[in-house]
Amino acid sequence: MRVLILGGDGYLGWPTAMRFSGQGHEVCVVDNFARRRWVEDAGSNSLTPIASLDERIKAWKEVSGKEISSSVGDIAEGTFLADVVQEFEPEAIIHYGEQPSAPWSMKSVDHAVTTQENNVIGSLKLLWAMREHVPEAHLVKLGTMGEYGTPNIDIEEGFIEIEHNGRKDTLPFPKVPGSLYHLSKVHDSHNIHFACRVWGLRATDLNQGVVYGIETPETKLDDRLLTRFDYDELFGTALNRFAVQAVIGHPLTVYGNGGQTRGFLNIVDTLQCISITAENPPAEGEFRVFNQFTEVFNVAELAEKVRHAAGELGVDVQVDHVSNPRFELEEHYYNPTHTKLLELGLQPTLLSETLIESMLGVIKDHQDRVIQDVIDPVTQWRPSPLNEPAA
């Protein structure tokens, strides 16, 4: 299968590229290195020292004997992406090529505009390129569980049957996303749904939970194959950030009371989910939504798990409840369905103390690279002290 991976130089994109290549698929990676630039512009870095894309591809060839091709450019600019799609003729397109940080999107009007322009227009151009050149291809789009927000009812996978005034319909699950980044993903989902309904494209929208983990079987093969690992306030996600904080002796930064509950999954399960999804494409015109996570935790629980695992290694960790920079409920109902990937064969890798200890060990190897002053939350969701969100 010819697999095009947009954002294939990123945290998940690069391991995904190696996974498909290792399975014998023909892989082409597209990236414009925006993530590397954004992290550098924020004064931060990847905890893991990462090779350039060219070096990665060369190392992968040495290690596996397999070729990955690449095309460097911006998917939202001109006809770059359409040209790549026309030439490579992918059968599956894995789309990670978006600005992925909620706080980054909330920093300023320019950050907000860049996020929605890059994400929405990039995906819209992809849909149009598929319509013109590969209408049979399968789009595997990375969305986020954050599209749903935290409604007071069970979250279904993309669609919900609504009974109203004696009539019924099955409609898209209503979205109440929590940042301008999350909104960009909601916009994408609506556009992709349209492209399936009207143009007959086929797509799977993966509403992914928060990903944690630093290694996959492929990244362990050679130091040049490491994937990036972010720990700063902008690009670091909850568990990854806590693990780095624990290693360097920084108090764990729990936002508010830490009752915010979210779906989580291990990076190795992301790879599993993407493979399973690509192996089971939807029908022509079908728009599928899978909720992609394996476990639900609240932030305070996660911090406690990290504190405990670090304690087992003899490291004493403090948990700080810092003023919440985001606008979100800290106590809420949360019960999202996530059966579709399990039905297709996903074998969850659950979060264990052993796993956290192993993460802490790898982080320790690189701890001298940590830039301390990008860790504490600075980016505020709101311009000035306003009221707390209503419960």
CB 145 within 8 A of CB 289: no
The answer to the question of residue 120 lying near a second copy (CB under 8 A) is: yes
Which residue in 185, 227, 253, 340 is the catalytic one? 185
Pull the structure tokens for residue 365. Answer: 């190897």
Using the 8-state DSSP alphabet, how is residue 117 labeled? I
Q: Residue type for 79, please?
A: T
The binding track of 179-218 with respect to a second copy, each residue x by CB under 8 A or -, is -x--x--xx--xx-xx--xxxx------------------
Starting at the edge strand found earlier in the chain, the sheet holding 26-31 runs: 68-72, 26-31, 2-6, 92-95, 138-144, 202-208, 287-292
The binding track of 255-294 with respect to a second copy, each residue x by CB under 8 A or -, is ------------------------------x---------
181 is catalytic: yes
Q: How many residues bind a second copy (CB under 8 A)?
A: 56
212 is catalytic: no
Alpha-carbon distance of 274 to 50, in angstroms, equals: 23
CB 147 within 8 A of CB 189: yes
The neighbour count for residue 49, using CB atoms within 10 Å, is 12
Q: Is the dihedral of CA 320, 49, 217, 291 positive or negative?
A: positive
Cβ distance to a second copy smaller for residue 171 or 342? 171
Binding test (CB under 8 A) with a second copy, winner from 177, 236, 263, 281? 177
Task: Pick out residues in 75-94 that bind a second copy (CB under 8 A).
Answer: 82
Alpha-carbon distance of 159 to 289, in angstroms, equals: 8
Task: Give the list of residues 6+ apart from residue 49 with CB closer than 8 angstroms, or none.
Answer: 223, 226, 366, 369
Pull the structure tokens for residue 99. Answer: 């600005």
The answer to the question of residue 388 lying near a second copy (CB under 8 A) is: no
Stretch that binds a second copy, among 3-11, 219-227, 230-238, 377-385 (CB under 8 A): 377-385
Cβ distance to a second copy smaller for residue 49 or 78? 78
Stretch that binds a second copy, among 66-74, 117-125, 137-145, 295-303 (CB under 8 A): 117-125
Residue 130 C-beta: closest distance to a second copy, Å: 11
Alpha-carbon distance of 204 to 212, in angstroms, equals: 22
The answer to the question of residue 162 lying near a second copy (CB under 8 A) is: yes
141 is catalytic: no
Which residue in 181, 212, 231, 334 is the catalytic one? 181
Which residue in 48, 114, 144, 294 is the catalytic one? 144
Cβ distance to a second copy smaller for residue 22 or 151? 151
Alpha-carbon distance of 344 to 263, in angstroms, equals: 19
Cβ distance to a second copy smaller for residue 105 or 237? 105
CB 4 within 8 A of CB 87: no
Q: Is the dihedral of CA 177, 239, 347, 92 positive or negative?
A: positive
CB 221 within 8 A of CB 14: no
The answer to the question of residue 339 lying near a second copy (CB under 8 A) is: no
Cβ distance to a second copy smaller for residue 118 or 266? 118
The binding track of 309-338 with respect to a second copy, each residue x by CB under 8 A or -, is ------------------x-----x-----
The answer to the question of residue 160 lying near a second copy (CB under 8 A) is: yes
| Strand spans (E) along the chain | 2-6, 26-31, 68-72, 92-95, 138-144, 159-164, 167-172, 202-208, 210-212, 252-255, 261-266, 287-292, 295-298, 319-322
Cβ distance to a second copy smaller for residue 163 or 373? 163
Residue 119 C-beta: closest distance to a second copy, Å: 11
Catalytic residues: 144, 181, 185
Site residues (vs a second copy, CB under 8 A): 82, 109, 112-113, 116-117, 120-121, 124-125, 128-129, 131-132, 135, 151-154, 160, 162-165, 167-169, 171-178, 180, 183, 186-187, 190-191, 193-194, 197-200, 285, 327, 333, 381-383, 386-387, 389
